[in-house]
Amino acid sequence: MDLRRDDITAEIAAVAARFVVDEGLEYAAAKRRAVKQLGLPARTALPDNATLDAAVREDIAVFCADTQPGELRALREVALVWMDRLQAFRPHLGGAVWHGTATRHSDVYIQLFCDDSKAPEWALLDHRVEYHPGEVPGWRGEPVQALSLRDRSEALGQWVLVHLMVHEHDDMRGALKSDAQGRKPRGDAMALRRLMVDQGEARDEAAA
């Protein structure tokens, strides 16, 4: 076992975790930035996502255990608003907001699965929603069309970036396969609500 290499991998994961938690960077970008900050060669072996995920959860537990659960709930509530509005396009939430590692700095990533890739865009236009078309990395690393918009979270007291990632309908079959850690990589609105209830995040509607 190469202890030095293991130490470097752990250090990269720890530094990358801070970028994920404090700045909302995605895992790939956080790893690259950590390598640069540590002054390591560009070809340094990177920690896998499972290692970084563990480092992120440890960072949250140590530095923001009091605030992160509320921030996560607020972001999930924003996600639910858009998933309900766009239910015709089979929305599924992924990323840190789904997996439970999001903070107020995280963006919301919602995958849409459509027969007509232009339909979500027309729906936003019909409802006079301002958005910016672009591309973001998909779950296979390929660029995916995204419609990005801002939504105000009163619970957070700030604007939240929501990325609607447009996929073909047939892509849904591969999108729901469990990841290397046996986790569901994304879930629909029903699954998200169930998750929030299980994790004690659901608000009392009578008190809302």
Q: Which of 46, 63, 80 is the last residue of a domain?
A: 63
Q: What 8-state DSSP symbol labels residue 117?
A: T
User: What is the number of structural domains in the chain?
Assistant: 2
Sign of the C-alpha dihedral, residues 132, 133, 136, 138? positive
Are 129 and 104 within one domain? yes
Q: What's the rounded Cα separation, in Å, for the pair 87 and 200? A: 24
Are 58 and 72 within one domain? no
Q: What local confidence, expressed as pLDDT, does residue 1 receive?
A: 40
> Which domain covers residue 83, as residue numbers?
68-198
Residue 4: which H helix or E strand, with range? helix 3-23
Q: Which of 18, 47, 63 is the last residue of a domain?
A: 63
Question: CATH number of the domain that 112 lies in?
Answer: 3.30.460
Q: Is the pLDDT of residue 80 over 80?
A: yes
Domain assignment of residue 208, yes or no: no
Are 77 and 125 within one domain? yes
Are 114 and 180 within one domain? yes
Q: What local confidence, expressed as pLDDT, does residue 184 receive?
A: 82
Of the listed ranges 2-6, 20-24, 87-91, 185-189, the least confidently predicted one is 2-6
Domain assignment of residue 115, yes or no: yes
Q: What local confidence, expressed as pLDDT, does residue 207 receive?
A: 38
Domain assignment of residue 207, yes or no: no
The band of 142, judged by pLDDT with boundaries at 50, 70 and 90, is confident
Residue/partner pairs of 56-62 with CB below 8 Å, 24 or more apart: 56/17, 56/20, 56/21, 56/101, 57/101, 58/17, 59/14, 59/17, 59/18, 59/20, 59/21, 60/21, 60/101, 60/103
pLDDT in tens, 150-196: 999 999 999 999 999 999 887 777 666 666 666 788 999 999 999 99
Are 169 and 86 within one domain? yes
Are 15 and 109 within one domain? no
The band of 135, judged by pLDDT with boundaries at 50, 70 and 90, is confident
pLDDT in tens, 12-48: 999 999 999 999 998 999 999 999 999 999 889 999 9
Are 73 and 46 within one domain? no
Domain assignment of residue 76, yes or no: yes
> What residue ranges in the chain does DSSP mark as E strands?
92-94, 108-114, 132-137, 143-153, 158-168
Q: What local confidence, expressed as pLDDT, does residue 3 receive?
A: 42
Over residues 81-100, the mean pLDDT reads 95
Domain assignment of residue 193, yes or no: yes
Domain assignment of residue 72, yes or no: yes
Are 159 and 173 within one domain? yes
> What are the backbone angles phi and psi of residue 122, rounded to the nearest 5°?
-65, -35
Are 99 and 30 within one domain? no
Residues paired with residue 93 on neighbouring β-strands, in sequence order: 110, 187
Domain assignment of residue 77, yes or no: yes
- CA 88 to chain centroid, in Å, comes to 21
- Percent of the chain residues topping a pLDDT of 90: 73
Are 9 and 103 within one domain? no
Query: How big is the chain by its Cα radius of gyration, in Å?
Result: 18
pTM listed for this prediction = 0.87
41: three-class secondary structure by DSSP: coil
Are 13 and 73 within one domain? no
Q: What local confidence, expressed as pLDDT, does residue 171 receive?
A: 76
Q: Which residue would you say has higher pLDDT here, 185 or 103?
A: 103
Are 49 and 81 within one domain? no
Q: Which residue would you say has higher pLDDT here, 137 or 148?
A: 148
Q: Is the pLDDT of residue 9 over 90?
A: yes
Q: What's the rounded Cα separation, in Å, for the pair 16 and 10? A: 10
Domain assignment of residue 177, yes or no: yes
Q: Which of 63, 79, 109 is the last residue of a domain?
A: 63
- Percent of the chain residues topping a pLDDT of 70: 89
Q: What local confidence, expressed as pLDDT, does residue 208 receive?
A: 38
The band of 202, judged by pLDDT with boundaries at 50, 70 and 90, is low
Q: What 8-state DSSP symbol labels residue 150?
A: E
Mean residue pLDDT of the chain comes to 89
